[in-house]
Structure 1
Amino acid sequence: MAHRVIDRPPTAATLRRLERASGAIATRAVARMDEDLPWFRTMPADQRSWVMLVAQAGIASLVEWCRSPDRPPRLTGEVFGAAPRDLVRAVPLKQTVDLVELTVQVMDDHVESVAEPGDADALRLAVLLFSREVAFATAHVYASFAENRGAWDARLEALVVDALVRGERSEELPGRASALGWDGTGPVAVLVGVAPADGDTHADVRRAARSHRCEVLVGVHAEHLVVVLGGAEDLRSAAERVTEEFGPGPVVLGPVVDRLSAAGGSAAAALAGLRAARAWPGAPRPVPADALLPERALDGDPLARAALTERVVLPLRTAGGDLLETVRAVLAGGGNLEATARALFVHPNTVRYRLKRAAEVTGQVATDPRGAWTLQVALALADLGGERSLWH
């Protein structure tokens, strides 16, 4: 941006007087801020001292500019470099504009008392032009901060999501996520699928999640889009909306966990489900990872095999009442209850009662296609694998 050159800069004598008065002017400016800006009075003492340093640096920069009017003012370094970068984080842009405006007003009020006779108009014009340069520099500082913060946030978010994908259970994860605005309370679940080929994926996913008042972290690993959802009571509904932003193919929702530091388990289950989902072409979208336990177990997922043992095999074995024998007979008979009753020499209502009890203890209905498939795989793996001892 081209800067405005002062046609007639203030005299050297005026500039010397301005230098001597700079401390008093800065002090008066801060006092005006304290009088006129209620939020300024609540600032910590260290931040208020930073504002004083910036005001003094601004007056010093004005003097140097007036002495060399052909030189563009280096306001970003000379003025804003007087305070730590944390000041930009602590004071919003609108409040900084108010601070600059008050400082310029105070400088303008002191023009008559500082300027040599006949030099007031030149000094007032210099203050006006300089204030315009400060306004542009302020916008540049905050734009640079926002750009750097955005890049830093993106890197930090990628690290958090990558740690979850790798199964890291570090207690540092919530702290890192909180730096990204994650509240840290409520249930969490991980959603995975194919990343879309085009579009602003991160922004689209965030809009979709926040439409359900859901906290969200987004990462792309190879061709996979990984979305961490949290904070909402109904994560399933949020996942259904976010699924619309994924690319073609299956989308798998990991089990809900109670905190972010445990979300690695949800991510592991979701990724295992995504690998096995092609074995269930008619799966809903999204499909819960637990609904893919049979396919995951056949794909070699030890967690899925353990879950089938715990949720299906052991409950049937310990329930008694011939439940296991009845479930095997129903599966062998293709779900025909009358044929099962004849094979077991019992009444069909007895078969129905036993199947109801089996559904209560396992969560699987033997006459439902998916339930029958899950029961068949669980029992077959128990017969073939290390769970054989369960039957003895």
Structure 2
Amino acid sequence: MPQPDDVPASAPVPGGATNAGAAPPDPATVEKLRATMGSLSTATLRQLDADLPWYRGLRPDERSALGVVAQKGIASFVNWYQKPVSPAWVLSDVFGTAPTELTRSISLQKALQLIRVVVQVVEDRVPFLAPAADQGPLREAVLRYSREVAFAAADVYARAAETRGSWDTRLEALVVDAILRGESSDALRSRIAAVGWTSQARITVMVGSAPQEPNAGFLNELRRVTGRLAEDVLVGIQGERLILVLGGVQDPAKAYPRISELFGDGAVVFGPDAESLVAASSSAQAAFAGLTAARAWPGAPRPVSSEDLWPERVMSGDDTARRSLVRTIYRPLLAASNGLEQTLSAYLSLGHSLEATARALFVHANTVRYRLRRVCDVTGWDPLVPREAYVLQTALVVGRLAPAQTTAGPGGAAPGTVRAARADQSATTTLGRAVSL
């Protein structure tokens, strides 16, 4: 293998340095190149139109911008052939102010196709531009020049992609922050459209701790995994917290545990479904309230629904959780028939014993079982499951402590019996002990 000192003087120097050791070009060839630049440009544009179907489909202003790039490329080649220099000139001389327009008009693949056509036009005319003795060096110069232009084009697109990526990240962070703050405005809708959000399905906010060092590799992995499990995703990292806004999750029972593995240590909480991205603020607030209260339930699953944390959220002072318990559990129990609220209260206060509840209510044990199943049908929470019974007991407590006009049953009178009052007192005492612990 030849060493650096053995490289021939006529070979191109790595890194695009000057080719000082090469023989100077024939002045007559240079003059002929300058004299034919106009015809070369015309031939190039004609060849682009003939060889590239996508070029013919461009708008007139886009065709004009690319034509200017091609003409500048030929003019710069003549200057470079006369005096080879460092390729730094390529960005300014060939592309000029066109990089932004270029990257918007065509892809990098199409840009390289354009460069190939320009080089081919010049190379095909080498026999007419130089005598036989100078045709070899001229062809070599064309190839070296095309290499530099191709690398410069790749650099233009890479810089444009980095700029767009940085802007997209900032815009995504603004959208996530606006959702967390509950902003609902035309500006938020335009930002949502700008980040490319398209999902019209269920939207959920999931929060937890971020990894120790969330670098670009972590974000790429996060987007790759969530991209397979959800239609859309927005990512926000605020200090030590990681926020995901998920749209169109196909199978939450499988997707949520997989996504939670990407979070840092600690609890991961997801909020209730929202109808739209603009309305996702309630889901985000519930998720953050659940994350604050999650440490009160050491055995909580990961991830855990913010609704499963209603008791802990009530104890931490979350008024939204209190209203939710009253609306979704306590009021439906009051509105139901067959004394469901009294049966549930007695069952919870008597140690979850079916026989003791039956004796206290002067009914058969099967009647108690039936009523407890009805409680599950009405509220969605099963009193025979210890954790769900705890949620139901909390709902009874906060419901009875709520203002009378908000919990009154039909006819305006809040139901209550001596047995219910005793059950209420027992449930309140149990909840107070849990708070003190």
- Tell me the TM-score normalised to structure 2 length: 0.82
Equivalent residue in structure 2 for 1:93, among 98, 103, 108: 108
The 1-side partners of 2:94 and 2:221 are apart by 39
Which moves more between the two structures, 206-215 or 13-22?
13-22
Q: Which amino acid aligns with 1:142?
A: Y
Which moves more between the two structures, 180-189 or 332-341?
180-189
1:388 CA drift (Å): 6.7
1:116 CA drift (Å): 7.5
User: Measured at CA, do residues 190 and 389 of structure 1 come closer, stay the same or move farther in structure 2, by a change above 3 Å?
Assistant: closer
The 2-side partners of 1:269 and 1:49 are apart by 54
Correspondence list, 1:22-33, <5 A: 22-33=37-48
Equivalent residue in structure 2 for 1:350, among 345, 367, 374: 367
- What does residue 376 of structure 1 align with? 393
The 2-side partners of 1:49 and 1:14 are apart by 29
Instruction: Indicate yes or no: 2:380 matched with 1:363.
Output: yes
The 1-side partners of 2:252 and 2:68 are apart by 49
Instruction: Indicate yes or no: 2:89 matched with 1:77.
Output: no
Correspondence list, 1:269-308, <5 A: 269-308=286-325
Does the aligned pair in 1 maintain the 2:293–2:312 contact within 8 Å? yes
Does the aligned pair in 2 maintain the 1:50–1:87 contact within 8 Å? yes
The 2-side partners of 1:184 and 1:192 are apart by 20
Say which one has the larger Rg: 2
1:174 CA drift (Å): 5.2
Q: Which amino acid aligns with 2:127?
A: E
Number of aligned residue pairs = 392
1:93 CA drift (Å): 1.7
C-alpha RMSD over aligned residues: 2.5
Does the aligned pair in 2 maintain the 1:178–1:184 contact within 8 Å? no
- 3-state DSSP of counterpart to 2:58: coil
Instruction: Indicate yes or no: 2:333 matched with 1:316.
Output: yes
- 3-state DSSP of counterpart to 2:234: strand
Instruction: Indicate yes or no: 2:104 matched with 1:60.
Output: no
Does the aligned pair in 1 maintain the 2:18–2:86 contact within 8 Å? no
Identity %: 46
- What does residue 194 of structure 1 align with? 209
- 3-state DSSP of counterpart to 2:206: strand
**1:107-148 Cα distance to aligned partner (Å, 9 max, x none):** 122333345796555543432322121122112112222222
Instruction: Indicate yes or no: 2:262 matched with 1:245.
Output: yes
- What does residue 252 of structure 2 align with? 235
The 2-side partners of 1:20 and 1:82 are apart by 26
Does the aligned pair in 2 maintain the 1:327–1:358 contact within 8 Å? yes
Where structure 2 has 5 or more consecutive residues not aligned to the other structure, the ranges are 1-14, 409-413, 415-437
- What does residue 427 of structure 2 align with? none
- 3-state DSSP of counterpart to 1:334: coil
Where structure 1 has 5 or more consecutive residues not aligned to the other structure, the ranges are none
Which moves more between the two structures, 14-23 or 106-115?
14-23
- Tell me the TM-score normalised to structure 1 length: 0.91
**1:27-58 Cα distance to aligned partner (Å, 9 max, x none):** 32232223222333333332222110100111
**1:163-201 Cα distance to aligned partner (Å, 9 max, x none):** 222222345445434544433332221111111114643
Q: Which amino acid aligns with 2:156?
A: V
Equivalent residue in structure 2 for 1:205, among 222, 225, 237: 222
Where relative contact order (Cα < 8 A, 6+ residues apart) is larger, the structure is 1
